């Protein structure tokens, strides 16, 4: 029986991961027990789990109590999103860094209490926000982390802490730097990156969507299904193959907004495309200009991580997974 803990298990990716684990086990292992921790959980269609614990990750006693179960695998997905971390510096660091450090300290104590027998796998969701421009045409696996947001800095700090803890041997960690997840289900949100999903999801549902940037804008995408695939693959990976570099750029698809719209046209027709309204927003344009556009994720690909190879595929996954093949 393997105990699995998902920190941030109430969020979009956490819920999809929990659904996946309930349906297919962890890399084929069905002898698992899943605990979800988050501030709250969906009231509709929540993923099955042995326990669903609502609480505040910044409360040290709460986090310690959850870790006292000694989970074998910890998926750490909990964080304040990029926009909020940027607006509220103190909250961003308090949520995105401090509990990560506290978790590692608790796991070190558990390792010592177990005389080295307890070494959990920790899969931490980092982000391409650890990067900042100027960029090469394709960001390779040796490009520096020079984040231009607090969110990116917090993710980069957590990666370094997890790598050092892993090098010392009391956890077995891996940080996966996720592309922008497209097509994000749910309602349009105010994240600066929201339009990348909105311009596909809303027209597919017969609704209007706003495009605030030029169609020439290039970005780095992977589907929610790929995100879950990355997480479970990372949980099963032989981390010896990482040779001490435990933060990995995940594969993804580099395409322009025009490419996205072409995919929508091929799959849903010109009527869908006509629902996209151009409303240039210089503020969003400026933010997006600072984001990475393309990667050469050679190490992750060699280690077996896989993402989509066309935006058509990403659109079809959204239709299959969210719209019931409609």
- Residue 236's CB is within 10 A of a number of other CB atoms, namely 14
Instruction: Kindly tell me which residue out of 8, 9, 83, 132 binds its own copies, with binding defined by CB under 8 A.
Output: 132
In the three-class reduction of DSSP (H, G, I as helix; E, B as strand; rest coil), residue 3 is classed as strand
Residue 249 token pair = 């750029």
Contact positions with its own copies (CB under 8 A) in 70-89? 89
Strand pairing category for 253-256 and 121-127:
unpaired
Q: Which stretch binds its own copies (CB under 8 A): 39-47, 239-247, 306-314, 315-323?
A: 239-247
Instruction: Name the minimum Å distance from CB 149 to its own copies.
Output: 8
Does residue number 68 form part of the binding site for its own copies (CB under 8 A)? no
Contact positions with its own copies (CB under 8 A) in 181-200? none
- Residue 186's CB is within 10 A of a number of other CB atoms, namely 10
Does residue number 163 form part of the binding site for its own copies (CB under 8 A)? yes
Instruction: Kindly tell me which residue out of 160, 205, 214, 258 binds its own copies, with binding defined by CB under 8 A.
Output: 160
Instruction: Name the minimum Å distance from CB 51 to its own copies.
Output: 31
Number of residues near its own copies (by CB under 8 A): 25
Could you tell me if 35 and 21 are in contact, meaning their C-beta atoms sit under 8 angstroms apart? no
Strand pairing category for 218-222 and 253-256:
antiparallel
Output 173 or 194, the one with its CB closest to its own copies: 173
Instruction: Kindly tell me which residue out of 164, 271, 279, 320 binds its own copies, with binding defined by CB under 8 A.
Output: 164
Pairwise CA distance, residues 231 & 123, whole Å: 7
Does residue number 145 form part of the binding site for its own copies (CB under 8 A)? yes
- CA-wise closest residue to 265 among 321, 204, 224, 197: 204
Pairwise CA distance, residues 289 & 72, whole Å: 40
Can you name the residues that pair with 207 across neighbouring β-strands? Answer: none
Annotated catalytic, 151?
yes
Instruction: Name the minimum Å distance from CB 141 to its own copies.
Output: 8
Does residue number 298 form part of the binding site for its own copies (CB under 8 A)? no
Residue 26 neighbours by CB under 8 Å, 6+ apart = 2, 4, 32, 73, 232, 235, 236
Instruction: Kindly tell me which residue out of 62, 148, 256, 294 binds its own copies, with binding defined by CB under 8 A.
Output: 148
Instruction: Name the minimum Å distance from CB 168 to its own copies.
Output: 6
Output 121 or 155, the one with its CB closest to its own copies: 155
Q: Which stretch binds its own copies (CB under 8 A): 17-25, 147-155, 180-188, 294-302?
A: 147-155
Residue 135 token pair = 């960029």
Q: Is 255 exposed, middle or buried (0-12, 13-18, 19+ CB in 10 A)?
A: buried
Instruction: Kindly tell me which residue out of 19, 62, 143, 294 binds its own copies, with binding defined by CB under 8 A.
Output: 143
Q: Is 180 exposed, middle or buried (0-12, 13-18, 19+ CB in 10 A)?
A: buried
Output 128 or 157, the one with its CB closest to its own copies: 157
Site residues for its own copies per CB under 8 A: 89, 108, 132, 136, 141-148, 150, 153, 156-157, 160-161, 163-164, 167-168, 244-245, 247
Catalytic residue positions? 151
């Amino acid at each position: 029986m393997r105990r699995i803990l998902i920190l941030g298990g109430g969020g979009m990716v956490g819920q999809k991961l929990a659904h996946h684990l309930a349906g297919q086990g962890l890399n084929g292992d069905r002898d698992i027990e899943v605990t979800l921790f988050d501030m709250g959980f969906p009231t509709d269609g929540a993923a099955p789990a042995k326990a669903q614990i609502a609480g505040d990750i910044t409360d040290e006693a709460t986090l310690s109590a959850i870790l006292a179960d000694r989970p074998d695998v910890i998926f750490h997905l909990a964080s304040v999103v990029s926009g909020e971390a940027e607006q509220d510096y103190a909250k961003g660091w308090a949520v995105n860094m401090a509990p990560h450090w506290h978790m590692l300290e608790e796991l070190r104590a558990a390792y010592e209490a177990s005389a080295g027998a307890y070494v959990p796998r920790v899969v931490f969701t980092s982000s391409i926000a650890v990067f900042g421009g100027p960029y090469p045409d394709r960001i390779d696996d040796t490009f520096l982390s020079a984040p231009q947001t607090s969110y990116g800095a917090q993710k980069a700090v957590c990666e370094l802490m997890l790598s050092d803890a892993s090098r010392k041997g009391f956890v077995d960690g891996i940080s996966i730097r996720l592309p922008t997840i497209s097509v994000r289900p749910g309602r349009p949100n105010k994240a600066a990156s929201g339009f990348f999903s909105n311009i596909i999801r809303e027209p597919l549902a017969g609704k209007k969507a706003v495009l605030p940037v030029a169609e020439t804008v290039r970005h780095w995408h992977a589907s929610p299904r790929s995100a879950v695939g990355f997480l479970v693959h990372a949980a099963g990976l032989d981390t010896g193959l990482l040779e001490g570099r435990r933060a990995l750029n995940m594969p993804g698809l580099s395409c322009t907004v025009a490419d996205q719209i072409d995919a929508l046209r091929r799959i849903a027709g010109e009527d869908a495309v006509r629902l996209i309204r151009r409303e240039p927003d210089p503020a969003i344009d400026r933010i997006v200009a600072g984001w990475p556009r393309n990667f050469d994720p050679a190490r992750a690909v060699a280690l077996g991580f896989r993402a989509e190879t066309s935006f058509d595929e990403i659109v079809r996954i959204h239709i299959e997974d969210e719209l019931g093949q409609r």
